[in-house]
Amino acid sequence: MGYRIAQLFLTPAHRTTSTSEVFVSQPDAYKENLAGKLFIIIEIESKKAFDLKMINFLVNTLNHNYYQNEKIILRERLPDLKVEHIFESALAKTNKKLAEFLRTEKVKINTKIINATIGVVYKNQIHFTTIGKNKALMISKQKTETSSKYTLTDITEQADGKGTARSATQTKLFSNVISGAMPNNGYFIFTSETLPEYLSHKQLIEITTTLPPASAVEQIKNTLSKINAYIPFLGLIIKNTIGIEKTETSVKASPPSTQASISSLKQTEESTEKLLSPSGMINFRDWFNILSSLIPKFNQKTRKLTDKNFLLKDKIFSKKRSRLFSLKKIIDILKLILSYIINVIILIFKIFSNKQRLIDFGKNTSLKAGLFIKSIGNNLVNSIAWFRGLNKKNKILFAAAFVCLALLVQNIVWINYKNQKIENANVLNELTKKIEQKQNQIDASLLYNNEEGAKKIIEEAKILLAEYPQTNKEQEEKYSRFMEKYQEHINKISHITKIESPGKIADLADLNSLANPDNIVMLSNTIYSSDSSLKTVYVVNLTDKLITAITNTNPAYIKITKPLADKDNNLFYLNTDKIVRLNIENEEFTPIKIEFDGNFSQIAGQALYNNRLYLLDNVDNKILRYNIGDNITSPTSWLKDDIDMSDTVDLAIDGNIYVLKKNGEILKLLKGGLQEFTISSIEPAIEEATKIEVSPEKKYIYILEPKQKRLIIFDKSGTLLLQYACDDFNDLKDFTVDEINEKIYFLNNTTIYSINADYFEE
């Protein structure tokens, strides 16, 4: 495209008081060919969360307004439509969108603290607008009568001198576009105010014109990293490669100038090598030049030959060079390799097909190995004997040479180690800055309730954290801090509330050391917990926290599980083949016959609604409905649609029937048919849900997952509200909710806990 771009973004290791960004667009080849590349350098001298949000808005809006502009498509048909017109149109649209954005956010910005440069480079043309203190520097080659050299010009100062205002208003932030052509073999440097203050014009010219843009940026970073500065350095280097191509073409056209070009390239190579070589490295070229000066002059015959003038093109074309790789050579090489492979295969086959040959081969191999080891020993002995035979002076010279060689190797190894260490430190610093930037972006997104955007950035931060090394204590501590912040973001995006110290209501083991309760249910400010193993129902009065027990003495009642409560203060439990009713007033158990073909062990869930009993049979793929009376008979199959009930674990009713699957999926049913219903995505994903609680009196849907020690709460539209999690719940069995008093009760092992529910509406 006729240009090369490299961006500089160097933020201080210490906390800075500004928010900044450097952006270079990456359009597809078609759009770049029509409209070039858009670039933005922006710094806001403030560290508010809104500043980052505003920068992201400007970058996204400008990029969209420019490359989605309908005028780009028209450029192919309308030659008079210039890139400058499209750029000015995009700026106008962005000014309008920014004003609307500020009104929506109800924020006023101080334009005096905004330093921004927005531009587009197309072929060798450049168009830009700037506000604030940013600089636009042009480096061009000025030819004189005797020589040519590069000079640096501050375009922004010239524009200001001509009366071009660089101020801005709330409604028109960007205006006054500066347009022009980049000089042949020239450069543009767009930078914040700080860079020219720390690097002189001479340094900028030398680094920029000597190195490619990407290498020049790295050299600037290395130079600035030695400065203990508390400010960011922002910049872009744009090189006009069209000028270079023309220069190279003109050089190749003239034989006399070819030698000068080669000499110039050699000088550039040497200066670049000096600029990039680390301190302390031995320069073998300098030593070679010194030694060459001591060699005697060539003889007269050689001088005569060298005195002859040969043009470079005569030396190049005097003899036609044979090609390094031709089809014939490649075929010959392949034939040779194939013959070697065949011979080796034949040899191996002969050896292993003949037992005597195999034995001989083993002996020969061991003999050759022994001779090889012996020869090494002899050479070592001979070397020692040779060294001892040297006179004292030669021994000293040999030892000195060995020491010099060892020091040379040590110096090279040490320099490589230092360079590698510096490179690793730079990579680590860059990675640290990226992680911190991502986490700041997440904070800003969460601040403005942009959860979808925060989720995407969290995934990017997760990838960066996986690359962070942990080779020393400092890195481990920093990684730990990053992970704490990452987990904090995960908890926020997943609406997780950690329960640090739940209130203890009662420990049923205090009444019976063998207690093993299965569940809890609440009636009239009292919690009932059944214990199938001991055929006992524990009663906990929430007013005085007194624990009592109701024991079932009937041996026919093997199990009392899956409690249900009706409006008449009766509790119902499922036995092996019948229903057991507990009257809480007289504390008596009464059996109720139920017509059911099978065993209650295949019942995944049960619920009472409008004096009717509903049983979820996930084995036979049914929901059975019964009328409750002295006997429970004549079940009807409630389902009308063919719905897969496999892997279901529970059901609850509020007029609709909610069936819970193990993976957290909820089936919402009405009049025997499936309704459209989905719940919000949740992190971490549900794996082993056990219970769902919904009722006409309750406003919310509750799902229990003991494996991840949490209770998940949705509203009845399926939107995630909250997750309660407690690391102390090591054997979470059941829960019940008192929405009137805004309390949630948990059964963990033998202990009943309570927490205050913060999500209820006032």
Local confidence band at 651 (pLDDT 50, 70, 90 cut-offs) = very high
- Does residue 57 have a pLDDT over 80? yes
Can you tell me the distance from the alpha carbon of 235 to that of 41, in angstroms, rounded to the nearest whole number?
7
Confidence (pLDDT) at 750: 95
Among residues 179, 122, 134, which one has the least CA distance to residue 40?
Answer: 134
To the question of domain 503-756 being in CATH 3.60.15.10, the answer is no
Can you tell me the distance from the alpha carbon of 743 to that of 698, in angstroms, rounded to the nearest whole number?
12
CATH (residue range 3-261): 3.60.40.10
- Does residue 317 have a pLDDT over 50? no
What is the tens place of the pLDDT at every residue in 571-588?
A: 888 877 778 888 888 888
- Looking at per-residue pLDDT, the higher value among 168 and 189 belongs to 189
Asked if residue 519 lies in contact with residue 508, where contact means CB atoms within 8 angstroms, the answer is no
What is the tens place of the pLDDT at every residue in 94-124?
A: 988 888 888 888 888 888 889 999 999 988 8
Can you tell me the distance from the alpha carbon of 274 to that of 293, in angstroms, rounded to the nearest whole number?
22
CA-based torsion, 102, 106, 110, 114: positive or negative: negative
Give the mean pLDDT of 173-199: 86
Can you tell me the distance from the alpha carbon of 745 to that of 525, in angstroms, rounded to the nearest whole number?
12
Structure tokens at 716: 């009845």
Structure tokens at 501: 């110290």
Confidence (pLDDT) at 714: 94
Confidence (pLDDT) at 189: 93
Confidence (pLDDT) at 747: 96
Local confidence band at 252 (pLDDT 50, 70, 90 cut-offs) = very low
What is the tens place of the pLDDT at every residue in 625-642?
A: 988 877 777 788 999 888
Q: What percent of the chain has pLDDT over 90?
A: 27
Can you tell me the distance from the alpha carbon of 761 to that of 742, in angstroms, rounded to the nearest whole number?
10
| Domain ranges across the chain | 3-261, 327-385, 408-493, 503-756
Give the mean pLDDT of 241-267: 48
Local confidence band at 753 (pLDDT 50, 70, 90 cut-offs) = very high
Strand residues in 439-560 grouped as ranges (E)? 496-498, 503-507, 521-523, 526-531, 536-541, 547-551
Among residues 594, 625, 532, 523, which one has the least CA distance to residue 564?
Answer: 523
Among residues 187, 182, 178, 180, which one has the least CA distance to residue 213?
Answer: 187
Confidence (pLDDT) at 235: 92
DSSP 510: G
Mean pLDDT of the chain: 81
Which phi and psi (to 5°) does residue 605 adopt?
A: -160, 160
